[in-house]
Amino acid sequence: MAGDHKDAGKPRVELLPVYALMTVGEVMGYGSEKYKKPGRPRQESDGNWRMGIIYSKLIGSTLRHILKFMMREDIDPESGKPHLGHAAADLLMLMEMTQLHPEMDDRWMPQAELEERLAKGLPVVMLEEEEKEIKRCMDSAEPEKDDCHWCNLGFRAEADRTGALMFHKVGEDVEDIRICQRVTA
């Protein structure tokens, strides 16, 4: 007689595709070696992706590997691993990013949504071009008269001691700031 085991409501991990996951493990091992920093412990490179990767990088990589597969190229020439394994690894990391690093979300959003996020004090990821425009405006002698989209919306940006941009509506207390984080691509 077999013992009783209560599994109701638990994830059905026994249904996961083992060969596909083994391939993903091989791809992740390849990535760990590829991004390993000389003189640093292996554990650092094994989990370096957990520090955060902007969403667009993972989306772009996923699509490139899928497109190569669609073009009938099964194996990535650089790694020697299947393109689908790379795409699956990228998607799994992206899924983790949505839980571990929502601040890395640099997906395009309509201007109104961006302004709403800033007004609510939610973090946004800036594109490098946007940051350059903001810094140019910040360096201007008369920023409100400058042709800056952000000034025209009533926002002012200031850099904190780390160089991160902080937004506030003109007339608001400086304590009521909006953090704007730009992640280098």
Rounded to an integer, the average pLDDT of 141-163 is 58
Give residue 152's pLDDT band: very low, low, confident or very high (50, 70, 90). low
**pLDDT tens sequence across 121-147:** 666 666 566 666 666 666 665 554 445
Distance of CA 21 to CAs 35, 85, 165, Å? Answer: 21, 8, 40
Hey, what are 38's tokens? 């000389």
pLDDT in tens, 96-120: 999 988 878 888 778 788 778 777 7
> What global pTM score does this model have?
0.66
Q: Estimate the crossing angle of helix 18-34 against helix 83-100, to 10 degrees.
A: 80
Tokens representing 163?
A: 């160089």
What are 24-65's pLDDT values in tens digits?
Answer: 999 999 998 888 877 777 777 677 888 888 888 999 999 999
DSSP characters over the chain? -PPP---TTS--GGGS-HHHHHHHHHHHHHHHHHTPPTTS-HHHHHTGGGG---HHHHHHHHHHHHHHHHTT--B-TTT-SBHHHHHHHHHHHHHHHHHH-GGG------HHHHHHHHHTT--EEPPHHHHHHHHHHHHSSSGGGS--HHHHTTEEEEE-TTS-EEEEETTS-TTS-EEEE----
